[in-house]
Amino acid sequence: MVIKQEKDETYESWADRARIFEHNIAIKRIAKGDDIHIVLDQMSNKLMQKLLNPIYSALKTSNSTYDNIVSKAEYKRIYLDKNKPNADQVDGEIFDKLD
């Protein structure tokens, strides 16, 4: 069954409704005597497919292109250049604190 997102509904709200829907189906199947491990495995697969579908659809229809080199340079400029390393971190290496 398809759980459609309402017009002004957030993704989080819709995802919660989908989770409750799949959870209720699983509870009913377990109450009928189906193997709990199989039911939970199928429930998790169905839920993940439902939750990822809108994301994959948006990515497929997106006209933007992703440039890895530009993205890394932008991340470095915005975050890395403005934040100093932690006291236990020097040049990207983390030293053991238990000396």
**Each residue's pLDDT tens digit in the chain (99 positions)?**
677 888 888 889 989 999 999 999 999 999 999 999 999 999 999 999 998 988 887 777 777 777 888 888 888 888 888 776 666 555 555 555 544
Domain assignment present for 99: no
**Amino acid (one-letter) located at 98:** L
Domain assignment present for 92: no
CB within 8 Å of 29: residues ≥ 6 apart: 39
CA distance 84 to 81: 8
The reported pLDDT for the residue numbered 99 is: 47
Domain assignment present for 6: no
Residue 76 belongs to what domain range? 11-86
CB within 8 Å of 21: residues ≥ 6 apart: 1, 3
Per-residue DSSP letter, 93: E
Q: pTM of whole model > 0.75?
A: no
The reported pLDDT for the residue numbered 43 is: 95
Helix, strand, or coil here: 23?
helix
